[in-house]
A and B are shown apart, each in its own frame.
Chain A
Amino acid sequence: MENVPYSSAVGSLMYLMMCTRPDIAQAVSVVSRYLDCPGKGHWEAVKWIFRYLKGTINAHSEFGGNGILTSYVDSDFGGDFDKRSLTGYVFTLRGCAISWKSTLQSTVALSSTEAEYMAITEAIKEVIWLKVFLGEIASLGDPIMVFCDNQSAVYLTNDRMFHERTKHIDIRYHFVRDVISKSNVLVKKISTEANSADMLTKPLPIAKFKFCSKTISICC
């Protein structure tokens, strides 16, 4: 494997993912976990991504649609083989993706609710920045929608529920409640089918994948 330009390939993909391609974010997040010691299987995965890129070489994001600043959040509970969960979120402004992330959570979640809750926290952090930034440079003060497909996580952000299964959740994740109560952020439930952040947490079937890309205005 020494002769394989694994890091260089992943680096190129990462730049691409950063700039215009949220559709490969999940894949890049996966392959970039093995940079220190890539195996043959990992390299096969990288080549697969290149094959996908070859088919979607004309992909572009299309700005100038409709809609307020919206965020889709998803997590994949225990999605990694190390048993950590994945966070995925994407922000759309006027229907087009402007900020996205697909990453492994830093701590192990005990339930899907907790994983989702942690993902919402990540998204809220971005919300704060985007809100003030947009408010400052463009005087845009629209409410921000955060969509999440886990009902219990949505409840958890709104109410100070105490439950046997949520009592261990770290205090830093509860800062979400604080932000939500004070600012113009709405966390709402969305069905998994309509959640376009799904493609940032797991490999999807083709139809669903295309739907997700289209929702955030990545056109081929």
Chain B
Amino acid sequence: MPSKGNGSRYMLTFIDDFSRKVWAYFLKEKSEAFKVFKESKTLLENQTRKKIKRLMIDNGLEFCNHQFDEFCKAKGIARHKTVVNTPQQNGVAERMNCTLLERDRCMLSNAGFGKELWAEAISTGCYLVNRSPNTSIQCKTPEEVWSGKPTDYSNLRVFGCPAYVHVNEGKLEARAKKGVFVGYPMGYKVWCPTSSKFLISRDVTFDEPALLKSKDVVLKPTIMENEKIDKKVQFEVPVQQSDEEEAIPHKDAHPEEQEVEAEPYLLARQCERREIRKPMRYVDFAYCFAVAKEVEYSEPSSYKEFISSKNATDWVSHMNEELQSLERNYTWTLVKPPNGKKIVGCKWVFKKKVDGSRPKGLRYKARLVAKGFSQVQGVNFNEVFSPVVKHTSIQVFISLVAIKDLEFEQLDVIIAFLHGDLEEQIYMKQSESFEVVGKENHVCFLKKSLYGLKQSPQQWYKKFESFMVSINFSSSNYDICVYFKKLSSGEFIYLLLYVDDMLIAASNMEEIVRLKEQLGSAFEMKDLRATKRILGMEISRDRPNRKLFLSQKEFVGKVIRHFSMEKAKIASTPLATHFKLSATMSPKSEYEK
């Protein structure tokens, strides 16, 4: 739309990349761009005594014509054009257009003006932009950087406010003309609607509050005129053009051009930036994992957490139970803290176990453990060993059970480690807030191998071993966790030990019962009857046919669920031939990881 005054239809902005100062020129035709550029170049170079080194422009034909090319060659100005459809390469200028137009629209609507005053609004916008702090120049104002002088804000006025210009048109004439304030050339520029003229004057009285009070300042004649003009105006297809000049040393100007009738403006700026996510195939597992864990393990992981947890009271009874059981087993005696001895800490471990025999199906388990990691080898312990049967032994054993059709029973030792006697002197702190009244400063002198101590499994094994020897069992030379005894009938009775789990097999059920009784007299045992599962493997038998089936159905299902593979397509072989895996497929850089 042609602007009031000189009827401009285009604007051209130059931005100095060093100071970010912006100049706006208003053109009637795009072809004027070259002339304006030459003029402003001369002006800027003369004022700053520096040369324009570089010009950032887009590919608009007003900058990419023969005339322009020749001129730039002659003056040695490098031009950076943007790639087609990539305005972001001329970001400074494009962003400035956006800023200016935003201000333009805002000021016009606030003042209630028609569109024909757009050029004035843009000029004022430029004026304000040049006096506003800019982050790209360390929050100084462009004007300050350009001129080196501090910015003066004393002359700022509200755009579009009623203004009274002092005039002297005769002794009896009114001394002021009423208009609206539209800009800051040398003085103040006032649009006088009654005479359809711009007045420029220093002597202006402003009525700024009037604009704030009501929006009715709308000037009727302007609107009328506006409507008339609207009918006449032919809108051109807006072609966004802009360019910008950039100085490598500093001080330069940027031409930039824009049709002002920017059509319904797409507020791309206001759209939220799209959230960039990692591909789902990487994220889902980790996420499901985290959630699943959270859901599954709502057990307090420390004493602090326990104190603040909802079902603290549930746990307390179990903690007391545990303490009583420890006391029953004479696990420790309270003594005064010895000098120069290392005192290990302790902590509570809370666990919910699925147990079908309980109401609610859950079993709460609180266990006091020693912080064995603070033990020092050679001082608090010498050897570490855990009685774990070899896996092949289990397979062989199961095979024997099937072949010979043996009875196959399972036992579990309750608090197995507490059966072990300690050989070393170990002191442990009392459990937090469970201190014995009157002996708060005392420490526990351990007698039994408490859970968590380095030597606990070994002490348990020693105890068990000696017991087995006492009932005439011998352990295999090739797997010390396999115990067997030759019976008078020439057959064998076997016992496999996996820390606190035991498997017993014999052809004669009476022998097994006897062994169970013997074990029960020495240790607190839990009889799990016929072996159904061991180490996550499920065992089922078909005794008439002397068959035994071993599977891990449950475990496989759990793993597949865990890694969210329930909906995956089935593959018929574990690894297809098309997988040619090699170390070269490993990520090489940090980025790929």
Residues of A within 8 A of B (CB): 1-5, 9, 12-13, 15-16, 18-21, 23-24, 26-27, 30-31, 33-34, 37-42, 44-45, 47-55, 57-64, 80-82, 93-94, 96-99, 126, 129-130, 132-134, 136-138, 203-206, 209
* Interchain residue pairs with CB less than 8 A apart (10): A5-B286, A5-B289, A27-B574, A45-B579, A48-B574, A64-B547, A81-B580, A81-B582, A81-B584, A203-B579
Write the chain A residue with the least CB distance to B571: A51
Write the chain B residue with the least CB distance to A45: B579
Q: Do B581 and A42 have beta carbons less than 8 Å apart?
A: yes
Question: Is B592 part of the contact surface with A, judged by Cβ < 8 Å?
Answer: yes
Tell me, in angstroms, the Cα distance from A96 to B402 when the chains sit together: 11
* Chain B min CB distance to A100 (Å): 9
Q: Do A54 and B560 have beta carbons less than 8 Å apart?
A: yes
* Chain A min CB distance to B426 (Å): 33
Q: Do A60 and B574 have beta carbons less than 8 Å apart?
A: no
Q: Do A50 and B563 have beta carbons less than 8 Å apart?
A: yes
Q: Do B575 and A30 have beta carbons less than 8 Å apart?
A: yes
Tell me, in angstroms, the Cα distance from A61 to B537 when the chains sit together: 11
Q: Which of A64, A132, A133 has the most CB of B within 10 A?
A: A64
Tell me, in angstroms, the Cα distance from A81 to B581 when the chains sit together: 8
Tell me, in angstroms, the Cα distance from A126 to B278 when the chains sit together: 47
* Chain B min CB distance to A22 (Å): 10
Question: Is B213 part of the contact surface with A, judged by Cβ < 8 Å?
Answer: no
* Chain A min CB distance to B501 (Å): 14
Q: Do A5 and B537 have beta carbons less than 8 Å apart?
A: no
Contact residues in B for A18 (Cβ distance below 8 Å):
391
Question: Is B399 part of the contact surface with A, judged by Cβ < 8 Å?
Answer: yes
Known pairs A1-B593, A45-B581. 16 more at Cβ < 8 A? A1-B592, A3-B278, A4-B282, A5-B286, A15-B536, A20-B537, A30-B579, A37-B583, A37-B593, A48-B571, A49-B574, A50-B563, A53-B556, A63-B548, A96-B402, A133-B478
Question: Is B224 part of the contact surface with A, judged by Cβ < 8 Å?
Answer: no
Contact residues in B for A21 (Cβ distance below 8 Å):
552
Q: Do B399 and A93 have beta carbons less than 8 Å apart?
A: yes
Q: Do A81 and B583 have beta carbons less than 8 Å apart?
A: yes
B276-304 contacts to A (CB < 8 Å)? 278, 282-283, 285-286, 289
Write the chain A residue with the least CB distance to B404: A138
Report, nearest first, the 6 A-B pairs whose CB atoms are least far apart. A60-B551, A55-B570, A81-B582, A63-B402, A64-B402, A27-B575
Contact residues in B for A50 (Cβ distance below 8 Å):
559-560, 563, 565, 568
Tell me, in angstroms, the Cα distance from A134 to B476 when the chains sit together: 10
Contact residues in B for A2 (Cβ distance below 8 Å):
593
Tell me the number of A-to-B contacts counted with CB atoms below 8 Å. Answer: 207
Q: Do A61 and B580 have beta carbons less than 8 Å apart?
A: no
Using A136-B478, A137-B492 as known contacts, say yes or no to A98 and B549 having CB atoms under 8 A apart.
Answer: no
Q: Do A51 and B570 have beta carbons less than 8 Å apart?
A: yes
Using A37-B586, A57-B557, A58-B551 as known contacts, say yes or no to A64 and B593 having CB atoms under 8 A apart.
Answer: no
Q: Do A1 and B583 have beta carbons less than 8 Å apart?
A: no
* Chain B min CB distance to A56 (Å): 8
B61-97 contacts to A (CB < 8 Å)? none
Q: Do B586 and A138 have beta carbons less than 8 Å apart?
A: no
Contact residues in A for B395 (Cβ distance below 8 Å):
97-99
Tell me, in angstroms, the Cα distance from A137 to B555 when the chains sit together: 30
Contact residues in B for A58 (Cβ distance below 8 Å):
551, 553
Could you say which of B476, B555, B580 contacts A16, with CB atoms under 8 Å apart? B555
Write the chain B residue with the least CB distance to A95: B399
Question: Is B334 part of the contact surface with A, judged by Cβ < 8 Å?
Answer: no
Q: Do A38 and B283 have beta carbons less than 8 Å apart?
A: no
Contact residues in A for B581 (Cβ distance below 8 Å):
30-31, 33-34, 41-42, 45, 81
Q: Do B573 and A203 have beta carbons less than 8 Å apart?
A: yes
Q: Do B559 and A57 have beta carbons less than 8 Å apart?
A: no
Tell me, in angstroms, the Cα distance from A60 to B278 when the chains sit together: 39
Q: Do A54 and B572 have beta carbons less than 8 Å apart?
A: no
Could you say which of B285, B545, B549 contacts A5, with CB atoms under 8 Å apart? B285
Contact residues in B for A57 (Cβ distance below 8 Å):
553, 556-557, 560
Contact residues in B for A38 (Cβ distance below 8 Å):
586
Tell me, in angstroms, the Cα distance from A197 to B358 when the chains sit together: 47
Using A1-B592, A63-B402, A64-B548 as known contacts, say yes or no to A39 and B586 having CB atoms under 8 A apart.
Answer: yes
Question: Is B168 part of the contact surface with A, judged by Cβ < 8 Å?
Answer: no
Q: Do B563 and A16 have beta carbons less than 8 Å apart?
A: no
Using A45-B581, A53-B560, A63-B402 as known contacts, say yes or no to A19 and B552 having CB atoms under 8 A apart.
Answer: yes
* Chain B min CB distance to A129 (Å): 6
Question: Is B26 part of the contact surface with A, judged by Cβ < 8 Å?
Answer: no
Could you say which of B553, B566, B571, B587 contacts A39, with CB atoms under 8 Å apart? B587
Tell me, in angstroms, the Cα distance from A45 to B573 when the chains sit together: 11
* Chain B min CB distance to A211 (Å): 12
Q: Do A54 and B570 have beta carbons less than 8 Å apart?
A: yes
Q: Do B574 and A24 have beta carbons less than 8 Å apart?
A: yes
Could you say which of A19, A47, A62 contacts B391, with CB atoms under 8 Å apart? A19
Contact residues in A for B401 (Cβ distance below 8 Å):
63
Tell me, in angstroms, the Cα distance from A132 to B477 when the chains sit together: 9
B299-351 contacts to A (CB < 8 Å)? none
Tell me, in angstroms, the Cα distance from A27 to B553 when the chains sit together: 19
Tell me, in angstroms, the Cα distance from A183 to B248 when the chains sit together: 88
Q: Do A206 and B547 have beta carbons less than 8 Å apart?
A: no
Q: Do B400 and A138 have beta carbons less than 8 Å apart?
A: yes
* Chain A min CB distance to B542 (Å): 8
Q: Do A1 and B282 have beta carbons less than 8 Å apart?
A: yes
Q: Do B575 and A54 have beta carbons less than 8 Å apart?
A: no
Question: Is B396 part of the contact surface with A, judged by Cβ < 8 Å?
Answer: yes
Q: Which of A15, A39, A62, A80 has the most CB of B within 10 A?
A: A39
Q: Do A42 and B585 have beta carbons less than 8 Å apart?
A: yes
* Chain B min CB distance to A140 (Å): 8
Question: Is B135 part of the contact surface with A, judged by Cβ < 8 Å?
Answer: no
Contact residues in B for A33 (Cβ distance below 8 Å):
581, 583
